[in-house]
Every structure is written in C-alpha cells, then in structure tokens.
Amino acid sequence: MNHEVPFPLHEIDIPPATAGLRIVGVHLPLRWADYGLIAFDMDSTLVAIECVDELADIAGCKAEVAAITEAAMQGKLTDYKESLRRRVALLRGVKLSQVDAVVRERMRLNPGVEAVVAACKKAGLRLLLVSGGFTLFTDHIRDRLGFDFVRSNVLEVEGDALTGRLVEQPWGDICDGAEKRRMLEQTCAQLGISPRAAIAVGDGANDLPMMHAAGLSVAYHAKPAVRAQAMVSIEEGGMDRLLELFGR
C-alpha cells in the first residue's frame, strides 16, 4: 500500500477559532459519517506520561530509560523492538503493587480525551487502542474509556514482580510501528471498512505507520517528525481541538 496521502498536500487557511492547529490536505468540515474507526496511541497521547519511564523511576533508572524512550519517539533509533527490550530489562524487580501505584497516582488522561471518545462513540465509530506500552496500563484505559479493540505488550511477571522480559503473544512479541499499522488494517478488515475510513492519533515515530495507512492522521502535541507528516497537528490545547474540524 502506498504510504503517501493520496492527494496533493497544501495548508488550508485556518480560521481564528482553530489557531493552534496545523491542517494539511484536509477539506473542512470533516464528516463523522466518513469514518468507522479511530485508533489511538496511549503514552503521551491518551495519557500524559510515558508509562515505561514511570516504572523506570521506581526502578531507579528513569534518566537512562527516558533517554531511550525519547530517542525512539523522535525516530532516531533504527530498532524500536531492541530499544524496548533494553528498557524493559531495566525494570526487573519492580513490584506489581508499584505498577498499580503508577496507575493510581501518575496516569492521567490528557485534556479533551474523554470528549473526543464520547463524540466518536456517539457518531458510531469503533475505538482501537494500539500501544507500544503494556497491558498492565492499557487494560485500565480500555476499561475506563470503553475501547473495542486493544493491542499492546505483556510484561512477564514471576510472583509479585516484573522479570525484565516480555511475553510473546500469538501475533508476535512487541507492538511496534509495523504492528500498530497491521492491527489498524486488520481491525478495518474485521469491520468491513477501508483503512481510509479510519482516523489514527499519535505523537511518536512508531505511530507514523498507522497514521500513513489511515484516512485521517492526527498528531497530538507530537514530535517534530510526526507533526510534519500528519494531516492534522494539535499544537495548542487539548485533544478536543479535533472536534472543531467536524461539522455539526
């Protein structure tokens, strides 16, 4: 499949009400009826933290892990899977009770997320969560927001602590950018719709494959490389800025 947007890109004139949005190759207003699925990244998109970095804080190695995370999200690392394995290895010994504390005390939804999810549900869109993070966190978001489909990684646990390894799943070992795209396309096929009838929302380089496959790509306070390639880039305000682009 061609990863390029299938029409010439041009920046449109943005009305004052949409200041803080960069919009390219999109004809406004958008129509909910044109879409059947919306896919979200989790870390720094739905929630305000990078969960792996917060676990590393508990393990006493946040600076090291956060540096790898930042490089991965900027697209500066060629092997995302290896970078995640390196980070997860440093989490060995973190207790499940400490993971639960991160969920309770540190994991907060970004502004406007609940409004966007509610609008999508009202319009009949199905919700997909695709994350390079971990089921210990995505399960919580799935249940809180009512997602229909989820793909993320499983941390291996022995007793009451993390082992520093990931558990291989039937679909593979790590949900990277390629897997995010694959999951989006598979979910669209399951729903009987084209990927062009999907919206993909993310902030990091590993979100670009699914954003390229979707009919509408949305960058949320994203890394420069992601902002540059997205059709819609929310650069000021909450995620509910996306709703300004849809007709009433």
Written as six digits, the tokens of 14 are: 């943005």
154-178 residues labelled b (16+ CB within 10 A) or e (exposed)? ebebeeebbbbbbeeeeeeebbbbe
- CA separation for the pair 215, 225 (Å, rounded): 19
Backbone angles phi, psi at 221, to 5 degrees: 40, 55
- Residue 218's DSSP bridge partners are 201, 232
Q: CA-CA-CA-CA torsion for 163, 168, 172, 176, nearest 10 degrees?
A: -10
79 flagged as catalytic? no
SS3 102: helix
57 flagged as catalytic? no
Backbone angles phi, psi at 5, to 5 degrees: -65, 130
* Nearest to 190, CA basis, from 154, 218, 151, 153: 151
State the catalytic residue, choosing from 13, 41, 57, 139. 41
Written as six digits, the tokens of 118 are: 């509610």
- CA separation for the pair 51, 41 (Å, rounded): 12
- CA separation for the pair 129, 151 (Å, rounded): 6
State the catalytic residue, choosing from 13, 43, 143, 176. 43
Catalytically active residues are 41, 43
